Amino acid sequence: MIKSLKDTYTLNNGVKIPGLGLGVWQVDTPQECINAVKAAVKNGYISIDTAKAYDNEEYVGQAIKECDKKREELFITSKLWNADQGYDNTLKAFDATLKRLDMEYLDMYLIHWPVPVADKYVETWKAMEKLNKEGLIRAIGVSNFTKAHLQRLADECEIIPAVNQIEYHPWLIQPALNAYMEENNIKLEAWSPLAHGELLNNEIIGKIAEKYNKSIAQVIIKWDLQNGVITIPKSVKEERIIANADVFDFELSVEDMATINGMNKDYRTGPDPDEFDMDAAK
């Protein structure tokens, strides 16, 4: 379990990834995005997670240039959108992402969704393997992949994904997928760790939060970290960005961890990866 914002996990290719970062999905304005990234870096965050679909890669890049940090001190992730899948399209889309970010390389690049109906994620992955071997991406991974999608990559490609970024929160734990990923040394990264805010009024977690004099959000983030899960909560307010990282001065008991682990009900706030298609909305 990580003990600070600077602590990292070592991925299956030896690259180190921070265990807690900032996500910038659904940030309303360019300036809001810039301010959020700058606030996060100022307060000790190293990892920033964006995507082409978020329409804010250029603002993330601008914010990082305005921060008092060297590029190599940060860990920047972006994602390939569905319509850009395919071998040649992936190479072009990645180049466009680098230009928007105004960077020479990415720390991690993910396939945003498998889109099985299009059946392009294997050739897409092979293009990402090429970019990884060329040193343009330090680690390659996927997002929203199921066990079947991951197994197909293992069967038909050379490189095992370093990360699978999936919807993960107390109502959606996905134990079978997690077990497969652990067996194959694929690190779990959580998106929507607070279930789009739907868990922020949960009575069960609220009682646990009172015990530790913490917020529900802080308890859920700590639960992620104690489960060894990388997490990237999104916020645009500096005080919440600071609060989301104020989770290293307490530890949830075995009983409280078991209580939260027992809340799973296979509830998704986002799409089913087997059904989300090429033309689906962001």
Integer-rounded Cα Rg, in Å, for the chain is 18
Q: Is the dihedral of CA 195, 176, 1, 44 positive or negative?
A: negative
pLDDT single digits (tens) 68-116: 899 999 999 999 999 999 999 999 999 999 999 999 999 999 999 999 9
pLDDT single digits (tens) 150-206: 999 999 999 999 999 999 999 999 999 999 999 999 999 999 999 999 999 999 999
* pLDDT higher than threshold 70 for residue 242: yes
274 in any annotated domain: no
Contact between residue 205 and residue 170 where contact means Cβ atoms under 8 Å apart? yes
8 in any annotated domain: no
4 in any annotated domain: no
Picking from 32, 6, 31, the residue whose alpha carbon sits closest to that of residue 17 is 6
Q: pLDDT-based confidence at 279, cuts 50/70/90? A: low
Catalytic residues: 54
Determine the structural domain holding residue 193 and report its residue range: 19-261
In this predicted structure, what is the pLDDT of residue 26? 82
pLDDT single digits (tens) 42-76: 999 999 999 999 999 999 999 999 998 999 999 99
Cβ atoms < 10 Å from Cβ of 207 = 13
Picking from 67, 161, 69, the residue whose alpha carbon sits closest to that of residue 114 is 161
What is the value of pTM for the model shown? 0.95
Picking from 117, 113, 52, 80, the residue whose alpha carbon sits closest to that of residue 273 is 113
Q: Decide which of 1 and 210 is more confident.
A: 210
In this predicted structure, what is the pLDDT of residue 278? 58
pLDDT single digits (tens) 12-27: 999 999 999 999 998 8
156 in any annotated domain: yes
276 in any annotated domain: no
160 in any annotated domain: yes
Q: What is the mean pLDDT of residues 239-256?
A: 97
* pLDDT higher than threshold 80 for residue 282: no
* Token pair 């050739």: residue: 123
Three-class SS state of 16? strand
Contact between residue 107 and residue 15 where contact means Cβ atoms under 8 Å apart? yes
* Token pair 């087997």: residue: 274
Three-class SS state of 8? strand
155 in any annotated domain: yes
* pLDDT higher than threshold 50 for residue 140: yes
Alpha-carbon distance values, 54 to 33, 80, 85 (Å): 10, 11, 17
Look up residue 124 and give its two tokens: 């897409």
Which ranges in 106-196 belong to alpha helices (H)?
Answer: 121-133, 147-156, 175-183
* pLDDT higher than threshold 60 for residue 281: no
Report the domain count for the chain.
Answer: 1
CATH of residue 220's domain is: 3.20.20.100
266 in any annotated domain: no
